[in-house]
Amino acid sequence: MRFLVRADLRSWLVPLLRAAPHEWAGYTTRLLAGGRGGARLVHAHDAVVRPYRRGGLPARLLHDTYFGWTPRPFHELCAMATLHGRGAPVVEVYGAAVEWLLPGCYRGWLATRFIEGARTLWEWASATQPGPERAPLWRDVGKSIRRLHDCGVRHPDLNANNVLLGPTDVLFIDFDRAHISAVNHGGHAADLDRLWRSLRKLDPQGHHVTAADFETLRGAYREGNACA
């Protein structure tokens, strides 16, 4: 295996990541809901380790196998570390690991900080009812997306399960295909439209998320919130 981890966490993070392909031998973990599954909370260190898994049709054939010489976990780690350094609203990243199965063929894992009490945008929306009392949170999400863009990145897969609502912040995850630039070059409409489509797919009848909710989000985005 190959590792890319924070120097101050290396003593415990490398052994932890080594255990990932071996069903977490020696560690107490809990499977977390959301996304494509497989993400685990490691209790001893309050870290979340997410295995890379394919979606759609490729998942039926390849599941967790990827090809290439630039592993996605390492790319995502570097992208998130850069964004975190710029003050972007992303989850703090700890490290990544890659297990080479064959030359150019690998499986991977990414470790991030666990956010106690965090819910995805969809978990929150589906557990509450539309109404004016929810407007402040929709505005927070819109401002946070604008802040993310102003920090130089468009989210490659902005959907309702990649937006985390923490106790104090709105944060974003899943940047394995992100491309970072120095400034916001636009394209925000496509990201917002992608988020809206994901909400409509999860809630086609609009019982939990209305068009008015999302317009509140769009309005907050347009107000702007420059990167720190």
What total of structural domains would you count in the chain? Answer: 2
Domain residue limits at 166: 119-223
Cβ within 8 Å of residue 97, ≥6 positions away: 1, 2, 3, 4, 17, 18, 20, 73, 108, 109, 111
End-of-domain residue from the set 82, 113, 144: 113
For each successive 10 residues of the chain (228 residues), what is the average pLDDT? 96 96 93 78 93 73 87 95 94 97 96 94 92 95 94 89 94 90 71 95 94 96 70
163-197 residue pLDDT tens: 999 999 999 999 988 888 876 656 678 899 999 99
Q: What are the φ/ψ torsions at residue 155 (nearest 5 degrees)? A: -75, 125
Q: Do 6 and 109 belong together in one domain? A: yes
Is 188 in contact with 221 (CB distance < 8 Å)? yes
Look at residue 118 in the predicted model and tell me its pLDDT: 93
Look at residue 226 in the predicted model and tell me its pLDDT: 53
Per the DSSP assignment, residues forming a β-bridge with 100 are: 106
Provide the whole-model pTM: 0.90
Examine the residue annotation and report whether 46 is marked as an active-site residue of this protein: no
Q: Do 106 and 123 belong together in one domain? A: no
Q: What is the chain's mean pLDDT, rounded?
A: 90
CA nearest to 48, candidates 130, 123, 138, 109: 109
Answer whether residue 228 is part of any domain.
Answer: no
Q: Do 65 and 17 belong together in one domain? A: yes
Q: Do 206 and 143 belong together in one domain? A: yes
Tokens read off for 81? 């570390």
Round to the nearest angstrom and report the end-to-end CA distance of the chain: 36
The CATH code of the domain that includes 55 is 3.30.200
- Per the residue annotation, which of 46, 64, 150, 157 is the catalytic one? 157
SS3 at position 83 = helix
Q: Do 84 and 156 belong together in one domain? A: no
The CATH code of the domain that includes 141 is 1.10.510.10
CA nearest to 216, candidates 153, 136, 97: 136
